[in-house]
Amino acid sequence: MAPSTSSRLFAGLLVVLWSGRLYSANGCFSSIISFGDSIADTGNAKYLASIYDDVRFLCVPPYGQNFIGQSTGRCSNGRLIIDFLAEILGLPLIPPYFSIKGSGSVAALRQGVNYAVAGSTAMNSSFVEARCNGCVVLNGSLEVQLAWFKQSLPFICGNATSSDCRNFIGRSLILMGEIGGNDYNLPLTTGRPIDEVQSYVPLVVDTIVSAINELIDMGAQTLVVPGNFPIGCFPSYLTIGVSDKEGYDPITGCLTKLNEFSEYHNKMLRIKLNKIQELNPNVVVIYADYYNAAMQIYHSPDKYGFTNGTFKACCGCGGPFNYKATERCGDVSMILCDEPDKYVSWDGVHLTEAAYKLISKSLFQGQYTMPEFRSICPRTSTSEGIGKSSI
């Protein structure tokens, strides 16, 4: 559901307090600094594919097919939420850290850097590996991504504790994910019971909170912290299914218990974010409600133009939901839909560019952030921002 009246009143107060202080040449922020997993990764996994075979599929079409002539390493057919956010703010698309690491291009670094990596977890990889029946987890946790960020600061602004660096970080919009989904997905999809995995939630949330606090100590002034998606609506989980009909929401058809799990994570995260805000009144901590921004699609898919596939993946390898855990979009046996813009899911785990576009507009030009992002950055309420793919 959309945020309450009190949340909007709070946002109005914040814009009064912040209106003279957050603007840069583009109207709001000088750059975006991003952390997270495949929901935000704009190509880091592609550069790590020689090390981690599990992300090699991102390097080939049809991934990134909307970027003509290349595969960008994005887990979709086109742009992600972070891409739309950059366009709304009038910033260039944010490059992956590994594409500019060691390049010495300070100008590029100053416009934003993305440290998110597909397959990453909030917790250390060893924690998740011990709980997913021997799976191999990419070593790109939040702790690792923060280390990459600190390593790159000397190329951007000098010493991490210098006033120049604090100012750079303070003028940047920090996007914290989405992160934490893989901490749950990997154990759940390898057989761990949901009640056990739910016990990990406080640990995952505390890890996210610890990273936020560290960034605030470094000078962060504005952070967007997403919640988790309604995973019970994803083809990957619907393929696994449940044995009783009561497990499905009668209105949406999503798996009720898994969506309740996502809501529990989001509730715990919001409680912690409210505490951070209380302790740091001069910092703006924005909760991005990815869950409900996505659920509006599942409640009314036809209304938003998703007429061909609410639960069926556009790109997959057959079955009722065009998804098989043992095969991937990009394999020779792949079945690719003709009209991706009419599908919600791209590959059973990630969404299409069309779905991300709608979610982005709902978040950054609508009501699904608390406080509302458009009150913190008024540019977003008037900017057209969201155009065609280019890179």
User: Which sequence positions are flagged as catalytic?
Assistant: 38, 347, 350
* Bridge partner residues of 336 (DSSP): 315
Which pair of structure tokens corresponds to residue 134? 């021997």
C-alpha distances out from residue 161 to 42, 58, 133, 156, 281, Å: 28, 36, 41, 13, 21
**How does DSSP classify residue 180?**
S
Q: With contact defined as beta carbons under 8 Å apart, do 347 and 315 qualify? A: yes
Task: For residue 151, give the 3-state DSSP assignment.
Answer: helix
Helices (H) and strands (E) in the chain, counts: 17, 8
Region for 59 from its dihedrals, namely left if φ exceeds 0, alpha if ψ lies in -120 to 50, beta otherwise: alpha
Give dist(CA 275, CA 363) in Å, integer.
22
Those residues whose C-beta lies under 8 Å from the C-beta of residue 227, and which sit 6 or more positions away, are: 178, 262, 265, 266, 269, 270, 287, 288, 289, 290, 291
C-alpha distances out from residue 68 to 8, 63, 78, 145, 184, Å: 40, 11, 10, 29, 34
| Cα torsion through 38, 43, 44, 45, rounded to 10 | 60
